[in-house]
Amino acid sequence: MNAWNRTLFISALALALTAFGCGDDSTTPPTDAATDTSGGGDTGGGDTGGGGGDSAMGDGGMCTPIGMECRMPGDYIGGMMDQCNNADDIAAVNREDYGDMMNESLTDLASACGQSCIADPDLVACTTTCVVEASEMAVSSGCAVCYAASVACAAELCIGDCLTAPDSPECLACLEGDNDCCFDCISEADTCAGFDLSDPPTM
């Protein structure tokens, strides 16, 4: 895995969170999907702010969801897998010539789209449409869902850790699963894509 690309990917996701910290809390995507019952902890109604406080990661490295309804793996992506694992989408993922200045990646587009879609009740759908349009249809809607889901997951679970310090170890840890739901936003996006989005294959 390319550590530099992973850092850039994490930083772009976390940067999107800076826009999510402003405004009304009612714009946070709902968590009405399945509740995680595997951890044995209290998963009913409590804090939905994600991060910034107690860690769900125990001393033994085991994570137990605490104090909130939690999504199950696959919920952000609707169970979609291998959506970017085709020649056209791999080419689109590897491009870094999007945007007005011709210097943006799909991660950059997803970050900007997430910011513009934050008030939409369906953040994933809005961001997906925006990424497809911003890429001038270079990426499929299935692949764009992977980017949109990563933005929504980060906004929902890691705003506390990533808002003020998007490059911090705490933000990275949160995005990788050290959050109140023990949910790995990065693995969710990679599963959707069919490969590590921060280090995509080349064709």
User: In the prediction, which pLDDT does 60 show?
Assistant: 52
Residue 130 lies in domain: 1-16+82-203
Integer Cα distance of 59 and 13 in angstroms: 28
- Token duo for residue 118: 């934050």
Residue 70 resides in a domain: no
**What are the Cα distances from residue 139, in Å, to 86, 115, 147, 193?**
11, 19, 11, 12
CA–CA separation, 109 vs 145, rounded Å? 12
Q: Which residues pair with 57 in a beta bridge?
A: 63
Q: Is residue 101 part of a domain?
A: yes
Count of the separate structural domains present in the chain: 1
Rounded to two decimals, what is the model's pTM? Answer: 0.73
**Is 168 part of any domain?**
yes
Query: Is residue 128 one of the residues assigned to a domain?
Result: yes
Look at residue 163 and tell me whether its pLDDT is greater than 60.
yes
Does residue 125 fall inside a structural domain?
A: yes
Residue 5 lies in a domain: yes
Closest CA to 156 of 58, 1, 34, 16: 16
- How is residue 52 annotated by DSSP? S
In a domain, 64, yes or no: no
In this prediction, residue 29 carries a pLDDT of 37
Position 105 in a domain: yes
Say yes or no to pLDDT of 50 above 90. no
